[in-house]
Amino acid sequence: MATTETVGGRAPAWRGGFGRLWGAAVLSSFGDSLRTAALPLLAVTLTDRPLLIAAVTACGYLPWIIFGLLGGAVADRVDQRRAMWTVDALRGLLVAAFAVVVALGHASIGLLIALAFTLTTLQTLFDNASTALLPALVDRDALGSANARLMTGQRIAGGLIGGPLVPLLLVAGAAVPFVADAATFLVAAALVASLRIRVPEGTPAPAGSTLRREIGEGLRTLWRDRALRGLCAATALCNIGMGAQLATLVVLVTGWLDAGATGYAAAGAAFTVGGLAGGVANGWIVKRLGRVRAVLVAGAVQTGALIVMGTVRSLAVLVAALIVFGLMGMVWNVNTTTLMQQRSPAELLGRVASAFRTLAFAGVPLGALLGGAVATAWGLNTPPLLTAAFFVPALIALIPAGKRDVPVVAQDDDLRTAHVQR
pLDDT band at 50 (very low <50, low <70, confident <90, very high): low
Handedness of CA 342, 347, 350, 352 (dihedral sign): negative
Q: Are 125 and 83 in contact (CB under 8 A)?
A: yes
Mean pLDDT, residues 250-262 taken together:
83
List pLDDT tens digits, range 163-190. 677 777 878 888 898 999 999 999 999 9
CATH architecture classification, 212-422 = Up-down Bundle (1.20)
Where in the sequence of the chain do the CATH 1.20.1250.20 domains occur? 1-197, 212-422
| CB neighbour list of residue 133: distance below 8 Å, 6 or more residues apart | 21, 80, 81, 84, 199
* Alpha carbon distance, N-terminus to C-terminus of the chain: 31
The residue ranking higher by pLDDT, 403 or 115, is: 115
Choose among 146, 141, 132, 199: nearest CA to 348: 132
Q: What is the pLDDT of residue 393?
A: 94
Burial class (CB in 10 A: 0-12, 13-18, 19+), 316: exposed
Beta bridge partner(s), residue 3: 12
Choose among 319, 312, 203: nearest CA to 267: 319
Integer Cα distance of 185 and 86 in angstroms: 10
Among the residue ranges 94-103, 321-330, 334-343, the one predicted with the least confidence is: 334-343
pLDDT band at 145 (very low <50, low <70, confident <90, very high): confident
pLDDT band at 244 (very low <50, low <70, confident <90, very high): confident
What does each C-alpha distance from 220 to 115, 352, 356 come to in angstroms? 33, 9, 11
Give me the DSSP letters along 185-224. Answer: HHHHHHHHHT--S--PPPPPPPTT--HHHHHHHHHHHHHH
Q: Are 333 and 149 in contact (CB under 8 A)?
A: no
Integer Cα distance of 55 and 44 in angstroms: 12
Fold of 1-197: Growth Hormone; Chain: A; (1.20.1250)
Q: What is the largest CA-CA distance in the chain?
A: 63
Integer Cα distance of 363 and 112 in angstroms: 23
Q: What is the pLDDT of residue 405?
A: 42
φ, ψ of residue 158 in degrees (nearest 5): -85, -40
Mean pLDDT, residues 362-385 taken together:
84
CB atoms within 10 A of CB 313: 11
Chain centroid to Cα 148, Å, comes to 12
Mean pLDDT for all residues in the chain: 80
Residue 311 has pLDDT above 70, yes or no: yes
